Chains A and B, each alone.
Chain A
Amino acid sequence: MQVKEFKIKWGMVIDIDKCTGCGACMVGCQVENNIAPMTKKDPYNYVQALTWDRDDAANKLKVLTWLTVYELSNGAAFPNHETAYLPRPCMQCGNPACVPVCPVVATEKNEEGGIVSQIYPRCIGCRYCMAACPYHARYFNWWDPIWPEGMDKGLSPSVSVRPRGVVEKCNFCHSRYLDAKNKARQDGGDPMNLPDGAYNTACADICPTKAITFGDLNNPEHKVHELAKSKNAFRLLEKLGLAPQVYYMSEREWVRKQGDNYNADGGDHGAPSNSHG
Chain B
Amino acid sequence: MDSKLFPEGTQRCSFGQYLIWMAALTGIFLWGLYAAVLVLYNGIGTTGLDNYFGFGAWITFDLAVIALGAGAFFTGLLKYILKIKQLEKIINLTVVVGFCCYAGAMLVLVLDVGQPTRAWFGYWHPNVHSMLTEVIFCITCYLTVLIIEFVPLILEQKQLNKIPFIHALAHNMHINMALFAGIGAFLSTFHQGSLGGMYGVLIGRPFAFREGFFIWPWTFFLFVLSAVGSGPVFTVLIATLMEKITGKKLVDFKTKALMGKIAGSMLCVYMFFKILDTWAWANGYLPSVGLTFDDMFYGFIYGKWLMWTEIVLCGVVPAIMLVTPSIRNRPGLLYTAAILDCIGVSLNRYIFTVQTIAFPAMPFDSWQKYYPNWVEYATSIMIIAFGFIVLSLAYRYLPLFPQERKLNYQSGE
Binding site for B on A (CB under 8 A): 1, 42, 45, 47-48, 51, 54-55, 59, 61-63, 70, 72-73, 86, 95, 97, 100-106, 122-128, 130-136, 139-144, 163-167, 236-237, 239-242, 257-265, 267, 269-270, 272-276
7 contacting pairs across A/B (C-beta < 8 A): A72-B364, A102-B132, A128-B55, A242-B203, A257-B363, A260-B363, A273-B366
Inter-chain contact B54/A97, CB cutoff 8 Å: no
Judged by a CB distance under 8 angstroms, whether B186 is at the interface is no
Task: Give the complex CA separation of A133 and B54 in angstroms.
Answer: 11
Determine which residue in B119, B202, B203 has the highest number of CB atoms from chain A within 10 A of its CB, and name it: B203
Determine which residue in A72, A130, A144 has the highest number of CB atoms from chain B within 10 A of its CB, and name it: A130
**Closest 10 CB pairs between A and B?**
A125-B114, A165-B114, A127-B54, A142-B45, A134-B361, A261-B290, A134-B204, A97-B204, A264-B287, A61-B50
In this complex, how many residues of chain B approach chain A with their Cβ under 8 Å: the count is 59
List 12 additional A-B contacts (Cβ < 8 Å) besides A166-B114, A240-B206.
A55-B45, A70-B362, A103-B126, A103-B133, A122-B118, A126-B132, A140-B44, A143-B43, A237-B204, A240-B204, A272-B364, A274-B364
Task: Give the complex CA separation of A45 and B51 in angstroms.
Answer: 23
Q: Which of B356-382 contact A (CB under 8 A)?
A: 356-357, 360-366, 368
Inter-chain contact B205/A134, CB cutoff 8 Å: yes
Task: Give the complex CA separation of A240 and B49 in angstroms.
Answer: 26
Inter-chain contact B54/A131, CB cutoff 8 Å: yes
Chain B 132-172, CB within 8 Å of chain A: the 1/0 string? 11011000000000000000000000000000000000000
Neighbouring A residues of B130 by C-beta, 8 Å: 100-103, 128
Main secondary structure, interface of B, reads loop
Q: In whole Å, how far is B59's beta carbon from the nearest beta carbon of chain A?
A: 9
| Contact status of A274 and B365, CB under 8 A, knowing A122-B121, A239-B288, A263-B290 | yes
Task: Give the complex CA separation of A128 and B199 in angstroms.
Answer: 10
Inter-chain contact B44/A126, CB cutoff 8 Å: no
Q: In whole Å, how far is B50's beta carbon from the nearest beta carbon of chain A?
A: 4
Number of A-B contacts (CB under 8 A): 209
Neighbouring A residues of B290 by C-beta, 8 Å: 239, 260-265, 267
Inter-chain contact B55/A124, CB cutoff 8 Å: no
Inter-chain contact A104/B289, CB cutoff 8 Å: no
Determine which residue in B125, B127, B362 has the highest number of CB atoms from chain A within 10 A of its CB, and name it: B362
Task: Give the complex CA separation of A125 and B117 in angstroms.
Answer: 11
Inter-chain contact B121/A133, CB cutoff 8 Å: no
Task: Give the complex CA separation of A165 and B40 in angstroms.
Answer: 10
| Contact status of A261 and B51, CB under 8 A, knowing A126-B132, A140-B44 | no
| Contact status of A131 and B357, CB under 8 A, knowing A51-B42, A62-B50, A139-B51 | yes
- Contact among A61, A70, A106, A240 with B364 in the assembled complex (CB-CB below 8 Å): A70
Inter-chain contact A124/B203, CB cutoff 8 Å: no
Inter-chain contact A124/B51, CB cutoff 8 Å: no
Chain B 42-73, CB within 8 Å of chain A: the 1/0 string? 11111001111011000000000000000000
- Contact among B45, B112, B203 with A126 in the assembled complex (CB-CB below 8 Å): B112
Inter-chain contact A95/B364, CB cutoff 8 Å: no
Inter-chain contact A105/B51, CB cutoff 8 Å: no
Chain B 288-308, CB within 8 Å of chain A: the 1/0 string? 111110010000000000000
Question: Which residue from chain B places its CB closest to the CB of A263 in the assembled complex?
Answer: B292
Task: Give the complex CA separation of A236 and B121 in angstroms.
Answer: 33
Task: Give the complex CA separation of A51 and B363 in angstroms.
Answer: 38
Q: In whole Å, how far is B203's beta carbon from the nearest beta carbon of chain A?
A: 5
Neighbouring A residues of B51 by C-beta, 8 Å: 61-63, 130, 136, 139-140
Judged by a CB distance under 8 angstroms, whether B131 is at the interface is yes
Neighbouring B residues of A136 by C-beta, 8 Å: 51-52, 362, 365
Neighbouring B residues of A270 by C-beta, 8 Å: 363
Judged by a CB distance under 8 angstroms, whether B17 is at the interface is no
Determine which residue in B115, B130, B201, B291 has the highest number of CB atoms from chain A within 10 A of its CB, and name it: B115
Judged by a CB distance under 8 angstroms, whether B85 is at the interface is no
Judged by a CB distance under 8 angstroms, whether B407 is at the interface is no
Judged by a CB distance under 8 angstroms, whether B178 is at the interface is no
Neighbouring A residues of B292 by C-beta, 8 Å: 263-264
Chain B 99-130, CB within 8 Å of chain A: the 1/0 string? 00000000000001111101101101111011
Judged by a CB distance under 8 angstroms, whether B33 is at the interface is no
Neighbouring A residues of B38 by C-beta, 8 Å: 47, 51
Inter-chain contact A101/B114, CB cutoff 8 Å: no
- Contact among B54, B206, B365 with A140 in the assembled complex (CB-CB below 8 Å): B54
Inter-chain contact A140/B114, CB cutoff 8 Å: yes
- Contact among B42, B50, B288 with A48 in the assembled complex (CB-CB below 8 Å): B42
Task: Give the complex CA separation of A103 and B120 in angstroms.
Answer: 11
Inter-chain contact B363/A269, CB cutoff 8 Å: yes
- Contact among A61, A133, A257, A261 with B291 in the assembled complex (CB-CB below 8 Å): A261
Inter-chain contact A47/B55, CB cutoff 8 Å: no
Question: Which residue from chain B places its CB closest to the CB of A262 in the assembled complex?
Answer: B290
Question: Which residue from chain A places its CB closest to the CB of B367 in the assembled complex?
Answer: A272
Q: In whole Å, how far is B218's beta carbon from the nearest beta carbon of chain A?
A: 17
Q: In whole Å, how far is A113's beta carbon from the nearest beta carbon of chain B?
A: 21
| Contact status of A125 and B205, CB under 8 A, knowing A101-B132, A135-B362, A264-B292 | no
Neighbouring B residues of A261 by C-beta, 8 Å: 289-291, 295, 361, 363
Task: Give the complex CA separation of A242 and B210 in angstroms.
Answer: 15
Inter-chain contact B202/A125, CB cutoff 8 Å: no
